[in-house]
Structure 1
Amino acid sequence: MDEIMARKKKFLAWFMEKNQLKRPDTYQILQLLFHEEQLLRISHFVDDVRYLPNALIISAEGAPTVSFLCRINGIYYENVAEVIAVLINNPPEELYIRLAFDRELICCPCIEQVAEEPEVEFSERLKKLESELNRIAFLKEEKRLKLQAEIDDALEKRDRDRFYYLSDLYKKFFG
């Protein structure tokens, strides 16, 4: 194992050991990366994934970021099992990962691993696409919250049929 791979493994091990994740199920993705050398080799730990094509954010408690975000080949994933399936069956050429944590508490000597910023030119077209995808993700989240409120309303009104209908919709669209 070369030095870069050893540093990546050390950083992942430190992150998994020292941080409680906002979404505990994302631990499975970290385990997959840790144990699959081919996936770890294509992974790059960066501070900012906004304009990068294949991006993953996993956040620890206390980090000022979203709990989990995954975009591979232009498709956003919210389900950890789907992400794992894509990484195993159709991995991207490169994967840019932001492991977000409270940096004030850091005492790990492998922090330099985070600064592995890629040399990537950002085109205006890519920035516009990213903006549009963020807008779509925001709208989806708004719809999810509205549907949750409608489900709560159906529960309060004891409207069983409406509750089942809305619950089925929620499962269908938001897993």
Structure 2
Amino acid sequence: MGNSVTVSEKKEFLDWFLNHYELQNKGAAFLLRFLSSDEKLLQKVHFVENVRLLRKCLIISTKCSKMPSFRFIKNKRMDSDVETAFFDIKFSPNEDIYIGLYFKDQNSCPEYAAVLEGNPMEKQDLVQDKLLGLFAEILLDHAVLDFKQKQLYKQIDEALAAGDREAFLQLSEQWREILELKK
């Protein structure tokens, strides 16, 4: 999965794809030909495996796929009308368009693999997941420390009540260590 696919590579792939596969939705084929004919638009086209969380994307399926024939998603709104997608793309030429293609053997197709790019939102998701994981770890550590502190407090009270000076001194030292960790 390269990060930088040239316009000519995208055009070549779309031409190859349209010559080798029949789309479920004929209008989607027209839309892909339209994209293929415009170099400025092709600069904004990105082929991705996963369209999740992307602002503007197309899902296009061939007849050999069981996926929905066509979906246009923009700002979390989904439409199955190719014409809506066409006019949006035509009148918003500076917006990135992410395309997920679904066809037989897509996972083993070298032509498709050559134009695949990563979903930029997946990277953001990974960072967010790591931050949430770190936050959860900090909260858990804090909860464990609080629990230990309460247990020690109870044990110190019991040592005082029993008059066990040695246990009291040992537990007090542990108490100081926990207070140091909390600083």
What TM-score range do you get, normalising by the shorter chain? Answer: 0.5 to 0.7
User: Is 1:110 matched up with 2:107?
Assistant: no
1:113-128 superposed matches below 5 A = 113-120=114-121, 121-122=124-125
1:136-155 superposed matches below 5 A = none
Q: Shift in Å at residue 109 of structure 1? A: 4.4
For the residues of structure 2 that align with 1:5 and 1:49, how far apart are their CA atoms? 20
Task: Identify if the C-alpha distance between structure 1 residues 35 and 6 changes in structure 2 by more than 3 Å, giving closer, same or farther.
Answer: same
What is the aligned counterpart of 1:82 among 81, 84, 106? 84
For the residues of structure 2 that align with 1:118 and 1:100, how far apart are their CA atoms? 16
Q: Which runs of 5+ in 1 are unaligned?
A: 125-175
User: Is 1:11 matched up with 2:13?
Assistant: yes
State whether residues 47 and 114 of structure 1, in contact with CA within 8 Å, keep that contact through their aligned partners in structure 2: no
Identity %: 30
Query: TM-score, length-normalised on structure 1?
Result: 0.61
State whether residues 7 and 110 of structure 1, in contact with CA within 8 Å, keep that contact through their aligned partners in structure 2: no
Which residue in 2 is equivalent to 1:44?
Answer: 46
For the residues of structure 2 that align with 1:30 and 1:97, how far apart are their CA atoms? 10
Q: Shift in Å at residue 84 of structure 1? A: 0.9
For the residues of structure 1 that align with 2:22 and 2:9, how far apart are their CA atoms? 21
Query: TM-score, length-normalised on structure 2?
Result: 0.59
For the residues of structure 2 that align with 1:80 and 1:18, how far apart are their CA atoms? 21
For the residues of structure 2 that align with 1:68 and 1:104, how far apart are their CA atoms? 17
State whether residues 8 and 113 of structure 1, in contact with CA within 8 Å, keep that contact through their aligned partners in structure 2: no
| Structure 1 vs Structure 2 CA RMSD | 2.5
Report Cα offsets for 1:38-87 as digits up to 9, x if no partner.
Answer: 11111100111122121101110112321111112343222212211111
Amino acid aligned to 2:9: R
What is the aligned counterpart of 2:95 among 93, 96, 102? 93
Q: Secondary structure of 2:36's partner?
A: helix
Q: Shift in Å at residue 113 of structure 1? A: 3.0
For the residues of structure 1 that align with 2:81 and 2:66, how far apart are their CA atoms? 21
Which residue in 1 is equivalent to 2:24?
Answer: 22
For the residues of structure 2 that align with 1:10 and 1:23, how far apart are their CA atoms? 21
What is the aligned counterpart of 2:55 among 53, 59, 78? 53
Q: Which runs of 5+ in 2 are unaligned?
A: 130-183
Amino acid aligned to 1:93: E
Task: Identify if the C-alpha distance between structure 1 residues 57 and 49 changes in structure 2 by more than 3 Å, giving closer, same or farther.
Answer: same
Which residue in 2 is equivalent to 1:32?
Answer: 34
For the residues of structure 2 that align with 1:9 and 1:58, how far apart are their CA atoms? 16
Q: Give the number of the structure whose alpha-carbon radius of gyration is greater.
A: 2
